[in-house]
Amino acid sequence: MKFFRTREERQKAAEEVKDRLAASEIDRNALKDRHTAFLESVPDALLLVSSDGRIALVNSQLEALFGYDRSDLIGKDLGCLIPARFRAIHGEHVQRFLTAPTVRPMGGRTEIFGLKMDGTEFPADISLSPLSVDGALYAAAAIRDITERQQAEQETRRSLEMQRVMCAILKSSLEPTPLEAQLQDILDRIVSIPWLALQARGSIYVVEDDPECLVLRAHRGTPEGGQKVCGRIPFETCLCGKAAANRETVHAAHVDESHEIRYVEMSPHGHYCVPITYRNRTLGLINVHLKDGHGRRPEEEEFLTAAANTLAGIIERHRAQLERERLQKQLADAEKLAAVGRLTENVAHEIRNPLTSVGGFARRLSIALAPGSPGKDDAERIVTDVKRLEELLGNVLSYTQTREPVLAKENLHEILDHLLSQADAACRSQSVQVEKTYTGNHPVYADRNQIEEALGYLITNAVDAMPRGGTLSVGIGRDMRGERSYAKVAVSDTGEGIPEKDLSMVFEPFFMLQESNGTARLGLPICRKIIEAHRGLIGVTSNVGEGSTFSVYLPSPDMA
């Protein structure tokens, strides 16, 4: 130990100590300033937590992230920055860390959320490091808001999932499988996407014979009641019908008053109704169920629209294939018919001459025999059978002969009024009421004699279908078939109807319905031949016990 002998030496030594203390204080302040500057320069939000779980230090980035002033945080429990549902378990994690401190970098698998001053939650990533200050242990935490990162990751996953499903859909579209199998496979892939917020329920509709009606062709998760009431949806009806009619996607977050069609098993849900369109025509519709309250999202709608565009190509290709097959069959049938026609015409002429003789002799015999005499009934039966065979031969010759129509501009109103006046006596005798619905003036280019023959048979056929009375409805309007405009004539009856299994055969030559008592007719095949010769179309719809409707589509003058 050094001793100072004089007062001056002691005073000088005291001044030296004082100078050293002052210099040390300057160094500590400079170091503190450098530490503070470092904390404020770090891009992450930083805080220091004491062993009792209270906040000891924060930087300005943490103030900005959580919306607090640091004076409001220093000394507060860390739980104020954590959502209430996580506070208990988070407190356990903090104590466990302080008991056995280790460095934990960011990027852990634990899901962490922060709570801002305004009550907003955000996903966070946190790194932890132990820090000893003057013998006291602290937990130093760096906090990042990873909302944007999670959104980017989610968008990437969605994009990859969408691309995967679209690739599968495109692959499915190229496979030589039936249309309904393709539609079902594509629908299953669509409703299996996890991020689409679906209820794993959906359906695909196709526009078929009726150009303004959706027909259910694939579904998943639809209860039996839904399949029944939503099996056919007219345009402008309910959400699907409106989307199909307007060719615009319809979204609904809930089942509300716009949901016109309902059924018992229906549960709360939302909808995307996405029309399948091609060249301004509606070919069908994709309908997917959403969770109740799910909002409209552009990325979901974009994906469903892409799927609908792919389906449009599939449906259009299927229709083109069916049309090719129909034309090939028509060509083959025409060639066969021409050959059969030549043979039939020769045979018919060979049969007609002796048949005429037999009929003539039978008529003379019937006239010569007195009523009630032996053979009188047999002669009359021969006359009746000969008359039926002569009518059949006439129909056969009419069907097999090629008659090119001589076209002229005709008024359908006048033709139908004339035919109905001819059928008036038969209608009155069978108590058949006639209803006419003519909308607008629809001229056509047609061979009047041939069109009267075809439409006249349809009217006669409808009256014959109601032997105990009913209603004969005849309507004229305009309709679109594909991209073409037609004048449409609809002839309906309220008879017994035609079984579904027979509908596809009624235009085949010599096809016999059970209710026809074994009588084979050529009326409907002749009708179809005449209509097709006019570049028109004919079809039939029927419900057993309710009646049938035959629809004839004749080209408008601008198509002739």
Asked, for residue 375, whether it belongs to a domain, the answer is: no
Residue 159 sits in the same domain as residue 141:
no
Bridging pattern class, strands 232-234 and 121-133: unpaired
Domain boundary, last residue among 263, 289, 311: 311
pLDDT score for 514: 45
Tell me how far apart the alpha carbons of residues 419 and 414 are, in angstroms, rounded to a whole number. Answer: 9
Q: Output the pLDDT for position 48.
A: 85
In 3-state terms, what secondary structure has residue 289?
Answer: strand
Q: How far apart are CA 182 and CA 177, in angstroms?
A: 6
Residue 508 CB neighbour total at 10 angstroms: 12
Measured in whole angstroms, how far is the alpha carbon of residue 463 from the centre of its chain? Answer: 40
Cα Rg, the chain, nearest whole Å: 44
What is the pTM for the complete model shown? Answer: 0.50
386: in domain: no
Q: What is the pLDDT of residue 34?
A: 58
pLDDT of residue 249: 94
> 135 and 38, same structural domain?
yes
Structural domain count, the chain: 3
Do residues 141 and 176 share a domain? no
In angstroms, the CA 422 to CA 117 distance is 89
Last residue of a domain, one of 102, 125, 145: 145
Q: Does 463 lie in the same domain as 426?
A: yes
Amino acid in the structure at residue 2 = K
φ, ψ at 540 (rounded to 5°): -140, 140
Strands, DSSP E only, in 228-374? 232-234, 250-252, 270-278, 281-290
Give the pLDDT confidence score for residue 515 in this predicted structure.
46
| Residues 218 and 301 occupy one common structural domain | yes
- Same domain? For 305 and 272 the reply is yes
User: 2 in a domain, yes or no?
Assistant: no
Same domain for 228 and 118? no
Last residue of a domain, one of 145, 164, 197: 145
| CA 22 to each of CA 19, 27, 120, 209, 484: distance values in angstroms, whole numbers, following the listed order | 5, 9, 48, 100, 101
User: Does 555 reside within a domain?
Assistant: yes
Counting Cβ atoms within 10 Å, is residue 476 exposed (0-12), middle (13-18) or buried (19+)?
buried
User: Residue 51: inside a domain, yes or no?
Assistant: yes
In a domain, 360, yes or no: no
Cβ neighbours around 397 below 10 Å, total: 15
**Is residue 333 in some structural domain?**
no
Q: What is the CATH number of the domain that holds 123?
A: 3.30.450.20
Which whole-number Å values give the CA distances from 134 to 15, 23, 131, 138, 464, in the listed order?
A: 29, 21, 10, 10, 110
- Give the Cα-Cα-Cα angle 126, 131, 136 (nearest 5 degrees): 130
Is residue 377 included in any domain, yes or no?
no
Are residues 217 and 307 both part of a single domain? yes
Q: Could you tell me the CATH number of the domain that includes residue 444? A: 3.30.565.10
What is the CATH number for 193? 3.30.450.40
Closest Cα partner for 180 from 211, 212, 215, 209? 215
Q: What distances in angstroms separate CA 19 from CA 13, 22, 23, 31, 32, one per listed residue?
A: 10, 5, 6, 18, 20
Together in a domain, 51 and 172: no
| Rounded Cα gap, residues 296 and 249, in angstroms | 11
| Residue 486 β-bridge partners | 479, 555
Within 8 A by CB and 6+ apart from 533, the residues are: 403, 404, 405, 450
Tell me, yes or no, whether 462 and 537 share the same domain.
Answer: yes
Q: Kindly give the confidence (pLDDT) of every residue in the chain, 560 residues in length, as a single tens digit, with 9 standing for 90 and above.
A: 455 456 666 566 666 656 555 555 544 454 445 556 667 777 888 888 888 888 888 888 888 999 999 888 888 988 899 888 888 887 777 778 777 777 777 556 667 888 999 999 998 888 888 888 777 888 888 888 888 888 888 777 777 777 777 787 777 777 778 888 888 988 888 888 776 656 678 999 999 878 889 999 999 888 888 888 899 999 999 999 999 999 999 999 888 888 888 887 788 888 899 999 988 889 999 999 988 888 888 888 888 998 899 889 888 888 888 888 877 877 777 676 666 666 666 766 677 777 777 777 777 777 877 777 777 788 778 878 777 777 766 666 666 666 788 888 888 999 999 999 999 998 999 999 999 998 877 788 889 988 998 899 899 989 999 999 999 999 998 887 766 788 899 999 999 988 888 887 887 766 655 444 434 466 788 888 888 888 889 989 998 889 999 999 998 775 44
HSE of 464 in the Cβ direction (CA atoms, 13 Å)? 9
If you search the block for the tokens 């179809």, which residue do you land on?
Answer: 528
Residue 166 domain boundaries: 151-311
Same domain, 283 and 429: no
Distance CA 269, CA 256 (A): 10
Same domain for 411 and 505, yes or no, is yes
267 Cβ contact list (under 8 Å, min separation 6) = 199
